Amino acid sequence: MAPRQSAKLRLQLLERMLLIRRFEELNIEIWPRHSYMGRQHLYIGHEAIAASVGLATRRSDVVNTTHRNHGYVLARGVDPGKALAEVLGREGGTNRGRGGPWHISDKAHGLLTTSAQLGGGLALGVGAAFGLKGRRSKAASVVHFGDGTMPEGLVYESFNMASVLSLPVLFVCENNAIPERGGLLAVKRWDDVPRALSIHCEPPVDGNDAGAVYALVERSLRRIRRTGRPVFIQPNVKAWPGSHKAVPEYTTGVTDLAMAWEPRRNAGPHAAWNRTDPILRMARTILAAKQATREDLTAMDARIGRRLQRALAYAEASPFPKPRSAFQGVFA
């Protein structure tokens, strides 16, 4: 169980998680009229992890994400309008339309690049830590990856490198138990290998419990800054049933925040998923601790909704890049 946390922290966690959820829902909503967006890898169900990292990291820290990158981008404070414009391939996007939905990045927010190759971001994050250390920065490098990445050889090479070079890396293994292509890996626990390579490993944490994830991330970052050595953590999340749809759809419906205080609203085939939904769970925690009222939470949701409507207006009004500009920016 997470320690008693302040109203401020819990509300911040909830607000970031809800922003991510509503952003992803907006992606599903607008897909039919922008179907060129192609395959969307949504972050629904993982929100507690990105929100925790977003709040626990410093501005100088760097974050390498997975192909489900929208969550981290928003959690690190990137403007949702610019992020959405990038999803739509517009000139006003974070990457001026070059990267698209899988490659959103923003150096100003410590998001250097987003690799959509399994293991690619993890390895680059170790390199980023090498750079930070070499430049005598006190910053840390956080790398997010899924359990599906674990069979990639590059992962082990990078664990070893981070360990022998004593690099300030936080390895965040987001275990949603939907490994790519069978996920055959002959270990009993995901942390068997990093542990064998002398990386400090924390026991798995319930990734749907935002308070617990935040506490673990915060503690791990402190440890990294103190020791200068890597730490491996493993938040276990429940896979969102829509995670593997080629065309995004409201598999579990639009999130109804009122389910947090009216459990009877939660029925149907996805009732179990809703019960463990990290967002509804945090809302329940806040209400039970009387740290906010239902009206406060509804108002927060409405505020996020208005912010995203402005983001959508910006993104859709942003022009497509000029075709000839395709040649620009190949070299520095």
Partner 1 sequence: MPKKTYAAAFVDGINLAMRRDKELHLIGTGFGGRFEGVLTKNHAARIFDPPTSEGAMAALGTGAALTGMPTMVHFGTSAFMLEAWNQICHEAAVSHYMTAGDIDVPVTFHGFHGVRVGGAPQHSTSPQAMAANMPGLEVVLPSTPYDAKGLIMSALKSRNPTVFLNHTKLMGIEGEVPARAYEIPFGKADIKRRGRDVTIVATSWMVQVSLQAAEQLAARGVSAEVVDPRTAVPLDVKGILRSVRKTGRLVCVDETPEMCSIASEVAASVAQHGFAALKAPIERVCRAPSPTPFSPPLEQFTVPSAKTIAAAALKTLPGRGRGAGRRA
Among 3, 203, 269, 323, binds partner 1 (CB under 8 A): 323
CA dihedral 220, 59, 229, 50 (to 10 degrees): 40
Residues 6 or more apart whose Cβ sits within 8 Å of residue 114: 64, 65, 67, 69, 99, 102, 103, 104, 105, 121
Q: Does 170 bind partner 1 (CB under 8 A)?
A: no
245 contributes a contact to partner 1 by CB under 8 A: no
Q: How far is CA 246 from CA 41, 72, 117, 147, in A?
A: 8, 21, 17, 20
Integer angstrom CA distances of residue 175 from 155, 219, 236: 15, 20, 5
- Identify which of residues 149 and 234 has a Cβ nearer to partner 1 in the complex: 149
**Residue 177 touches partner 1, criterion: CB under 8 A:** no
Q: Is residue 246 a contact point for partner 1 (CB under 8 A)? A: no
Asked whether position 326 contacts partner 1 by CB under 8 A, the answer is yes
Residue 145: phi and psi, rounded to 5, are: -155, 165
Whole-angstrom distance between the N-terminal and C-terminal Cα of the chain?
A: 49
Residue from 45, 81, 110, 148 that binds partner 1 (CB under 8 A)? 148
Q: How do strand 200-201 and strand 235-236 relate by DSSP bridges?
A: unpaired
Task: Figure out which of the listed residues 7, 59, 60, 117 binds partner 1, where binding follows CB under 8 A.
Answer: 117
Per-residue CA distances from 330 to 98, 205, 325, 326 (Å): 11, 42, 10, 9
Cα dihedral angle (4, 55, 276, 87), rounded to 10 degrees? 170
Q: Does 325 bind partner 1 (CB under 8 A)?
A: yes
- Alpha carbon distance 168, 225 (integer Å): 7
Give min distance, CB of 38 to partner 1, in A: 3
Of the candidate spans 233-241, 256-264, 275-283, 322-330, the one that interacts with partner 1 by CB under 8 A turns out to be 322-330
The contacts of residue 277 (CB under 8 Å, 6+ apart) are: 45, 208, 255, 259
Nearer to partner 1, 245 or 307 (CB): 245
CB atoms within 10 A of CB 283: 25
Please tell me whether residue 101 binds partner 1 under the rule CB under 8 A. yes
| Member of 2, 9, 11, 116 binding partner 1 (CB under 8 A) | 116
Neighbouring-strand partners of residue 62: 141
CB of 112 vs partner 1, minimal distance in Å = 15
Smallest separation, CB 235 to partner 1 (Å)? 21
Nearest approach in angstroms of CB 173 to partner 1 is 15
Query: For residues 113 and 291, which CB has a smaller minimum distance to partner 1 in the complex?
Result: 113
Determine, following the binding rule CB under 8 A, whether residue 108 of this chain makes contact with partner 1.
no
Supply the minimum distance, in Å, between the C-beta of residue 116 and partner 1.
Answer: 5
Of 169, 93, 78, 74, the residue nearest 125 (C-alpha): 169
User: Minimum CB separation from partner 1 for residue 108, in Å?
Assistant: 20
* 320 near partner 1 (CB under 8 A): yes
| Smaller CB separation from partner 1, 16 or 96 | 96
Can residue 247 be called a binding residue for partner 1 (CB under 8 A)? no
- Give the interface with partner 1 as residue ranges (CB under 8 A): 36-39, 89-90, 97-103, 115-118, 148-149, 151-154, 179-185, 320-327, 329-330
